Amino acid sequence: MARKRFNPLEHLPSDARLRQLQIVAQRLVESLLAGNYRSVFKGTGIEFDEVREYVEGDDTRLIDWNVSSRMGQVYTKTFREEREMTLFLLVDLSASLNYGSSSRSMREITLIAAALLTLAAVQNNDKVGGALFGGEIESWIPPAKGRNHAMRLLQDIISTTPSTEGSNLGSTLRTVRESMKRRGILVIISDFQAGDYQRELSLVAKRHDVIAIKVSDPVMRGLPDFSLLSVSDSETGRTAILDGRSRRFRFEFEHFWNQQRQQWLRECGRQGISAIEISTVDNVAERLIHFFRRRGGRR
């Protein structure tokens, strides 16, 4: 598809736009709270506190046998509610997301989704951080609280231009796995047009609550009517002429993208990862709100 050039200055949110995003983010927060905010995310509600002597009535499944054997009497583990959660965003900035057949590019959808989730975390006084990547990690923002920190993350998403081609999701996931020792909520925003990331995704999903947001465009579901069309690859710059009159070509094109989508959904399902698709023609906030309501209901 023809490359749609992204101009960061052109898309820099004004104060009015940021205020609008905050209003919509508040709706997202209210939706999460309505479904019990913490229950929407798995495994982040409690953390280990200490061990103490076992008393009658304690859950025998929580007995710490290692400590008990050393001390010569029975000890049990105790837990407490974890009062804060950490949201960490993996944001794909590769050139393939610059495309958009409508008035918005996939990268703009990526920004809106990241902004809504970031501001929602701020509203709930949670930590938020992120890794912005293309062929390599371009920016790493450690998790922290506060609106100023959140604005820095969003500004980096707006202004960062990848220095290398491609989308190295696998390497980014490995860095996250090695760096984030405590369990958190990991949100990947990407078109997932990357190779060899499945093993790292599986390993990360064992420790963190992973949500995969696949950004797409209607063209990936079906080509519009055309006869001949000159297109270029966003990553390599290679050009080609497509013949829209060919039934075989249209079938193979649509079959390819459908196969990619089904493979992605199966992979997420196997790893227990929540998957959501957002197109350039979707209302991003409504899609996220619907997703979290449905997810909260399942939990």
Q: Show me where the domains of the chain are located.
A: 15-39+83-298, 46-81
Distance linking the first and last C-alpha atoms of the chain = 40
Strand 239-243 to 274-279 pairing: unpaired
Overall pTM surpassing 0.85 (yes/no)? no
Residues sharing a CB contact under 8 Å with residue 66, sequence separation 6 or more, in sequence order: none
- Long-range pairs of 218-221 with CB within 8 A, sequence gap ≥ 24: 218/101, 218/102, 218/279, 218/280, 218/281, 219/1, 219/101, 220/257, 220/261, 221/254, 221/257, 221/258
Q: Is 78 helix (H, G, I), strand (E, B) or coil?
A: strand
| Residue 34 confidence (pLDDT) above 70 | no
Identify the CA nearest to 129 among candidates 182, 83, 79: 182
Contact 32, 38 (CB under 8 A): no
Percent of the chain with pLDDT over 70: 73
Local confidence band at 10 (pLDDT 50, 70, 90 cut-offs): very low
Per-residue CA distances from 22 to 26, 120, 156 (Å): 6, 8, 18
Residue 63 DSSP label: B
Q: Residue 2's pLDDT is what?
A: 39
CATH of domain 15-39+83-298: 3.40.50.410
Q: Is 113 helix (H, G, I), strand (E, B) or coil?
A: helix
| Residue 152 confidence (pLDDT) above 70 | yes
